[in-house]
Amino acid sequence: MDEKDLEILRILEENGRLSPEEIATMTTLSVQDVEGRILALEDARVIRKYTAVINWEKAGNGEVSALIELKVSPERDFGYDRIAERLSRFNQVKTVRLITGTYDLQLLVTGRNMQEVSRFVSEHVAPMDRIRETATHIIMKPYKENGNILFEQQETERLPYSF
Amino acid sequence: MRDFISERAQGLPPSGIRKFFDLALTMQDVISLGVGEPDFSTPWNICESSIYSIEQGKTSYTSNKGLQTLREAISRWLTRYYRLTYDSENEIIITSGVSEALDISIRAIVNPGDEILIAQPSYVSYAPCVTLAGGVPVPVECTEKDRFRLKPNALQEKITNKTKALMINFPNNPTGGVMRKEDLEAISDIVVDHDLLLISDEVYSELTYEGQHVAAATVGDLWERTITLNGFSKAYAMTGWRVGYVCAPRALCEAALKIHQYVMLCAPVMGQVAALEALRSAEEDKNNMVNEYRLRRNMFVAGLNRIGLPCHVPEGAFYGFPSVKETGLSDVDFAEQLLKEQRVAVVPGSVFGTGGADHLRCAYAVSRKQLTEALGRMEIFMSGL
């Protein structure tokens, strides 16, 4: 992993749809070199996948999301890994993180409506062994996701010419 | 009624692109590559600290020289990044942008009839500022074949017994040219031998894409005869805050300060607070912006060359400066037709003085999407010629 690899990663993170040709012009690398580096980064699972940032609220599919915080008793030899991995397997669970503070794990769970989310939490998450306590926070409105601002920003007025 | 307008004001040339400006304002869907400012908003931590200081009631004048904390921060920053040493107490003045810094520096040194050499193409205000101060601007051409660097022979040719100073701006607006250490060394002997003063406008210093920026005052014996100008507009996307600074040996600084205190009193305190925060915490934001400009430059310059507008790779600032010579159109006609037919605004190079004709200044401080769109439109325009 060198500076050029990091540069390519930053470019792709910002826009995963750029072609190797476009990335090559921007980085002054050859197209072949860019393709080779991207393949290697994919093989090394540094690049996990290419995806889109979607404002679901705007798409109007009616999905709801909640942050679920969990207090978990860690297991001997495994710590939090096994339970975190187990939780990660649920399709409804979009994010799983080990965190510091009052709670241990933080999940992002989505569902078609509130009932679905709460049923999932009460039936599948809360009863799991070693989970001592849950706190569910409904997401009311997202303003920024993964570095992307979701609210409309007024375009600033710029002069057509200035020196 | 008498004609109240002074001869000096009457003598100033009208802006070379007024008609473009008016035309562009009447048009829809114009992509402007004509703007010499970052397209980014000022990093939020900078804005936030300024807002907080307003809430705290910090809305008064500052000392004429500017906030002491800001001068100290600038002094440390210059030493750390450019190995420039200026004493925060006596050798730095905070100004309302580099525009004011330029004006007070020129007024501090020019006697009527003094000839001031200006490395051109140059920012449009240089020559008028010299004229307003009673001096005589003398252009020194930097040519494309030298990658728009100032060459010693070109400089030597223009020196007379009336020459007082040389003004340079590298990285350069509009060409993107830079002066490497050896280029500065080559002119430093001439400046010293002819006992000239150097005014070095380095506002684009942080936008240097190949290697490190070399501050003119660190070269040879130039420090004692150099006025270094810099500011926050370009590097930190802070054009509207109006904060720049003058750095010079004490006697020069004191002269400039007298003018500054009469015409400006002090730079706006909100801007000064913001500038201080920029130095404290916006290093990463700045680096990210510079990195983005570099990517855009590579993409844009490759695009220009591909569509038949030869352009050297600018090593600094955020301008492409392609030649339109092979199209058979003048830069003014090219720019006008491009605007009318394809709604892309660029600035004809001739407004930047000697050496600018037959070129276009295209700012690539716009989003990649807009750059791609602009290149597409320019390609269509080129194929119709």
Angle at B172 between CA B166 and CA B178, to 5 degrees: 90
Q: pLDDT band for position A1 (50/70/90)?
A: confident
Look at residue A77 and tell me whether its pLDDT is greater than 90: yes
- Per-residue pLDDT of B58-82, as tens digits, reads 999 999 999 999 999 999 999 999 9
CA nearest to B24 within chain A: A160
* Domains A3-43 and A62-140 belong to one CATH topology: no
Å between A25 CA and nearest CA of chain B:
5
Spatial distance between the Cα atoms of B34 and A161, rounded to a whole number of angstroms: 5
Mean pLDDT of B211-229: 97
* pLDDT at residue A55 in the model: 81
CA atoms lying within 13 Å on the CB side of residue B329: 19
Return the closest-CA partner of residue B297 out of B210, B380, B234, B379: B210
Count of positions (residues) in chain A: 163
Token digits for B110? 């020019």
Mean pLDDT of B165-186: 98
Mean pLDDT of B230-254: 98
Query: Among A77-86, A90-99, B14-23, which stretch is predicted with the lowest mean pLDDT?
Result: B14-23
Q: Using alpha carbons, list the distances in angstroms from residue B160 to A100, B116, B129, B277, B315.
A: 72, 10, 20, 45, 32
Q: B356: which chain A residues are within 8 Å (Cβ-Cβ)?
A: none
* pLDDT at residue A24 in the model: 96
Say which CATH architecture domain A62-140 belongs to.
2-Layer Sandwich (3.30)
Q: pLDDT band for position A84 (50/70/90)?
A: very high
- Helix (H, G, I), strand (E, B), or coil: what is residue B307? coil
> Quick check: B30 and A27 CB within 8 A?
no
| pTM recorded for the entire structure | 0.90
CA atoms lying within 13 Å on the CB side of residue B79: 11
Angle at A118 between CA A115 and CA A121, to 5 degrees: 150
Look at residue A145 and tell me whether its pLDDT is greater than 90: no
Q: Using alpha carbons, list the distances in angstroms from residue A19 to A23, A34, A54, B296, B373.
A: 6, 10, 21, 15, 16
Q: pLDDT band for position B171 (50/70/90)?
A: very high
Spatial distance between the Cα atoms of B295 and B173, rounded to a whole number of angstroms: 19
Residue B274 CB coordination number (10 Å) = 27
A159: nearest CB among B35, B125, B303: B35
Q: Which of A4, A19, A161, A162 to mutate to test the interface with B (most CBs of B within 10 A)?
A: A161
A160: nearest CB among B41, B345, B351: B345
> Quick check: A162 and B298 CB within 8 A?
no
> Quick check: B299 and A25 CB within 8 A?
yes
Look at residue B172 and tell me whether its pLDDT is greater than 80: yes
Mean pLDDT of B148-169: 98
Whether B154 contacts B165, CB under 8 Å: no
Q: Which fold has domain A3-43?
A: Arc Repressor Mutant, subunit A (1.10.10)
Token digits for A22? 């476009």
* pLDDT at residue B16 in the model: 75
Look at residue B19 and tell me whether its pLDDT is greater than 90: no
- DSSP conformation letters of A16-80: TT--HHHHHHHHT--HHHHHHHHHHHHHTTSS--------HHHHT---EEEEEEEEEPPBTTTBT
> Quick check: A160 and B295 CB within 8 A?
no
Residue B164 sits at φ, ψ, to 5 deg, of -110, -35
Spatial distance between the Cα atoms of B81 and B102, rounded to a whole number of angstroms: 22
| Interface residue A163 vs chain B (CB under 8 A) | yes
- DSSP conformation letters of B253-306: HHHHHHHHHHHTSS--HHHHHHHHHHHHH-HHHHHHHHHHHHHHHHHHHHHHHH
Return the closest-CA partner of residue B22 out of A158, A156, A160, A163: A160
| Interface residue A12 vs chain B (CB under 8 A) | no
Mean pLDDT of B189-215: 97
Residue A1 CB coordination number (10 Å) = 11
Look at residue A63 and tell me whether its pLDDT is greater than 90: no
Look at residue B94 and tell me whether its pLDDT is greater than 80: yes
- Per-residue pLDDT of B102-118, as tens digits, reads 999 999 999 999 999 99
Mean pLDDT of B291-307: 96
Q: pLDDT band for position B210 (50/70/90)?
A: very high
Token digits for B245? 């600074």
> Quick check: B35 and A26 CB within 8 A?
no
Look at residue B20 and tell me whether its pLDDT is greater than 90: no
Spatial distance between the Cα atoms of B230 and B245, rounded to a whole number of angstroms: 6
| Interface residue A160 vs chain B (CB under 8 A) | yes
Mean pLDDT of B19-30: 88
Look at residue B215 and tell me whether its pLDDT is greater than 80: yes
Q: What is the mean pLDDT of chain B?
A: 96
Residue B123 sits at φ, ψ, to 5 deg, of -50, 145
For chain B, domains (ranges, CATH) are 7-42+284-383 (3.90.1150.10), 60-281 (3.40.640.10)
- Helix (H, G, I), strand (E, B), or coil: what is residue B147? coil
Mean pLDDT of B223-241: 97
Q: pLDDT band for position A147 (50/70/90)?
A: confident
CB burial readout B305-321, b (16+ within 10 A) else e: eebebebbebbbbbbbb
* pLDDT at residue B317 in the model: 98
Q: A7: which chain B residues are within 8 Å (Cβ-Cβ)?
A: 291
* pLDDT at residue B323 in the model: 98
- Which residues are CB-contacts of B252 (< 8 A; sequence separation ≥ 6)? B105, B108, B109, B197, B227
- Per-residue pLDDT of B32-46, as tens digits, reads 999 999 999 999 999
Å between B306 CA and nearest CA of chain A:
11
- Helix (H, G, I), strand (E, B), or coil: what is residue B171? coil
Where along chain A do its domains lie? 3-43, 62-140
Spatial distance between the Cα atoms of B55 and B351, rounded to a whole number of angstroms: 43
Q: pLDDT band for position B315 (50/70/90)?
A: very high
Residue spans of beta strands (DSSP E) within B308-350: 319-320, 344-345, 347-348
| Interface residue A4 vs chain B (CB under 8 A) | no
β-bridge mates for residue A131, sequence order: A72
- Per-residue pLDDT of B316-331, as tens digits, reads 999 999 999 999 999 9
What radius of gyration, in Å, describes the C-alpha atoms of chain A?
A: 21
Å between A96 CA and nearest CA of chain B:
28
Q: What is the mean pLDDT of chain A?
A: 92
β-bridge mates for residue B24, sequence order: none
Mean pLDDT of A144-159: 82
Element containing residue B193 per DSSP (H, E): helix B181-193
Spatial distance between the Cα atoms of B217 and B273, rounded to a whole number of angstroms: 27
β-bridge mates for residue A71, sequence order: A133
Return the closest-CA partner of residue B184 out of B222, B158, B236, B154: B222
Residue B284: exposed, middle, or buried by beta-carbon count in 10 A (0-12, 13-18, 19+)? exposed
Token digits for B45? 């931590």
- Helix (H, G, I), strand (E, B), or coil: what is residue B9? helix
Look at residue B15 and tell me whether its pLDDT is greater than 90: no
